[in-house]
């Protein structure tokens, strides 16, 4: 329980700490990978599509809580840059589903390794039980924050 020894952040609200954690994560990620002219929201969108192959544009917009026009622009750029492709949905001919293609898969593999390294380092000093509980709490907070943001 190393994290209890120095509580220099005790007066900072939890939500601000979470935001700071996200900012530091993104900074670390960008310092280790070549973002290849992709902004942060494009990389996040790309990772979402990679982890949810077959997702459609509306689900991307809803999951990331961004408007459909912005989502469309992001997806068009990713398609133009040959990171994703839109494929007609077999179950709904009027809809397209999204999937990553080779160029994206290579970048995401590098991102995944970098994220694994980062997570290993920020979780250093926590027990396996604490890590499991932390992940449960983060999932719970994310679920509730998505509800509130809609």
Residues with Cβ within 8 Å of 88's Cβ and at least 6 positions away in sequence, in order, are 95, 96, 97
In words, the CATH class of domain 25-122 is mainly alpha
Give the separation between CA 67 and CA 82, rounded to whole angstroms.
23
- Closest residue by Cα to residue 74 from 59, 95, 60, 54: 60
pTM of the full structure? 0.74
C-alpha distances in Å from residue 59, one per residue of 13, 42, 67, 136, 140: 31, 15, 11, 23, 20
- Range name among 33-37, 49-53, 105-109, 123-127 with the lowest pLDDT average: 33-37
pLDDT in tens, 38-89: 888 998 899 899 999 899 999 999 888 899 999 999 999 999 999 999 998 8
């Amino acid at each position: 329980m190393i994290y209890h020894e120095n509580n220099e952040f005790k007066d900072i609200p939890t939500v601000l700490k979470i935001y700071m954690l996200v900012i530091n994560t993104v900074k670390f990620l960008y310092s280790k990978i070549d973002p290849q002219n992709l902004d942060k929201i494009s990389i996040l969108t790309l990772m979402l599509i990679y982890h949810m192959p077959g997702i459609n544009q509306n689900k991307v917009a809803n999951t990331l809580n961004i408007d459909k026009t912005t989502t469309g622009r992001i997806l068009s750029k990713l398609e133009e840059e040959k990171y994703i492709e839109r494929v007609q949905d077999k179950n709904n001919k009027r809809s397209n589903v999204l999937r990553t293609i080779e160029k994206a898969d290579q970048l995401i593999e590098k991102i995944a390794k970098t994220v694994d390294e980062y997570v290993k380092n920020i979780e250093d000093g926590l027990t396996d039980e604490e890590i499991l509980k932390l992940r449960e709490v983060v999932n719970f907070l994310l679920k509730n924050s998505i509800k509130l943001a809609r």
